[in-house]
Amino acid sequence: MKISKMLLLTSLFTLWSCHSLTVSENYKTLTALENGQTIIMDVNNIYGFKFNECVGCASVWEIGKYDSNLMQYLRKEYSNRSCTDCLGGNQDVTFLFKAISAGNTELIFTYFNDAMKYQITIRRPD
């Protein structure tokens, strides 16, 4: 009986853990096309910033600056790898953020000598 309960609890925990790692949130994706623009976000919504990067290069996209009082960094996700059986290639990386408080901030991402800069305005939805 104890083993059955332990297996059940372990199974439930595993399912919960796997669920928390999958992307089930709907979010608006922004790219390099919006570089330099003012982005309007609503509190409690999730936003993805998606860039292409080289796999195995000396540098990758990094978060340069943002106000953690206004935005919460959630995680990075990778997609669209150009090849799965090679050492190089390229892929998309998406940085997920949640807007947590109203205000204005600058969000900067860096890659080698390049930078993507966004002016972020977070508002409370009506």
Domain boundaries, the chain: 26-123
The pLDDT assigned to 25 comes to: 58
Q: Mean per-residue pLDDT for 56-85?
A: 89
- CA 121 – CA 126 distance, rounded (Å): 15
Q: Looking at the domain covering 26-123, what would its CATH class be?
A: mainly beta
The pLDDT assigned to 117 comes to: 96
Residue 9, SS3 per DSSP: helix
| pLDDT tier at 83, thresholds 50, 70, 90 | confident
Q: Mean per-residue pLDDT for 80-87?
A: 79
DSSP structure string for 16-31: HHHHHHS-----EEE-
The pLDDT assigned to 101 comes to: 96
pLDDT by residue (tens digit) across 6-57?
A: 433 344 333 333 333 334 457 889 988 999 999 999 999 999 999 988 887 7
pTM of the model: 0.74
The pLDDT assigned to 5 comes to: 45
Closest to 101 in 3D by CA, of 73, 124, 125: 124
CB 57 within 8 A of CB 87: no
